Amino acid sequence: MSSEDGRRVVADKRVSLRRVPVPTARAIVDCAVYRDGRRLPGRFTHAEALAQVRGPEGGFVWVGLLEPDPLQMSDIAEVFGLHPLAVEDAVDAAQRPKLERYDDVWLLVLRTVAYVEHDLHSVSEIVHTGELLVFTGPDFVVVVRHGAHSEHKTLRCELEADPQRLRLGPGAVMHAIADHVVDTYLEVAISVERDVEAMEEEVFTPRSRMRVESIYQLKREVVELRRAVLPLAGPLALLTKPDSPVSKEVRRYLRDVADHHAAASERISDFDEALSALINATLAKISVQQNTDMRKISALVAIAAVPTMIAGIYGMNFDHMPELKTSWGYPAVLILMISVCTGLAVSFRRNGWL
């Protein structure tokens, strides 16, 4: 076999490996059956779990997935009866926060955010964003997660430690996820607020080194944060209405989530205005500094022009010039230069030019 044929065989093997579908279980982070508010022991596939709750004893299934591919999501959709458009949204991972209904299945899309520690003068990414899609049916919750910063292991443990809440059904899980996401909005908003305050202090400190690029980068990150946070107000308002997919008790909890979301949204909107004003102040400060520098340069040029002019006159090489042949002519010209330059320097300093 020639080397070219060998490379072709290796390439064909790589293509065939890429075409092998990845099992759906690879995308499932956790799959559990809950009955009477408690998790049933044992491990279940998503199909087995759904069969368990659709038996005579009831309950609901909570399936968590991490960045499933189209084939994996299609398998989940076939088992749980999800609409193709909803499946497309789950794979695309570029949706605005929204609430949609497909027959008896509701889809809540949330954007997740995470704060990145950074240097105040850097222009690196400050806020990471991800996406959560929560499919809620009468007896199941399917959560699709995009992004490594929005894991729900701790949240699931907290809910499992409170069977009274889990007895409320899939709506309780939807509320817990929304509450967790909105709490992260507040945490990120507090961290960004510290950055804004530090930048304000730095900008108005004399001889500060704050660059307008750093402020503009933070402003861009705040705009991205607004796009992730503010649109969730509409879905939360719909979930608190009587025709929402959750019970009356869960709606009470969701109203509290909506209040927290409103507080986070107001803070983020204030950041955008504050940073716009800060950029204008920084540009104005730069302009004032440039004017000050130009005045100093102009003053120094004016002072230097006096000896330059006198030296230029006496450098004309004429024979008949005043005090050219006298013994005191040279020191007299020097004293004149020094006196005029000193007078100009004193005058410029009194006027704030030096």
Mean pLDDT across the chain, nearest whole number?
A: 83
104-131: pLDDT as tens digits = 899 999 999 998 888 777 767 888 888 9
Could you tell me the pTM of the whole model?
A: 0.76
Residue 190 to residue 217: CA distance in whole angstroms: 18
Which residue did the predictor score with more confidence, 256 or 200?
256
Give the residue-averaged pLDDT of 232-261. 89
Of the candidates 220, 219, 213, 199, the residue with the CA atom closest to the CA atom of residue 123: 213
* 39 pLDDT higher than 80: yes
Domains, the chain, ranges and CATH? 3-286 (3.30.460.20), 288-350 (1.20.58.340)
Instruction: Say how many Å lie between the first and final Cα of the chain, rounded.
Output: 84
| Confidence at 232, pLDDT banded by 50, 70, 90 | very high
* 17 pLDDT higher than 50: no
Say if strands 127-136 and 105-115 run parallel, antiparallel, or are unpaired: antiparallel
Of the candidates 298, 304, 286, the residue with the CA atom closest to the CA atom of residue 353: 298
**Residue 59: strand, helix, or coil:** coil
Residue pair 110/178 in contact (Cβ under 8 Å)? The answer is yes
* 181 pLDDT higher than 60: yes
Residue pair 40/34 in contact (Cβ under 8 Å)? The answer is yes
327-354: pLDDT as tens digits = 777 787 788 778 878 887 888 788 777 7
Q: Which residue has the tokens 């430690």?
A: 161
128-159: pLDDT as tens digits = 888 999 999 999 999 999 987 777 888 889 99
Residues in the chain: 354
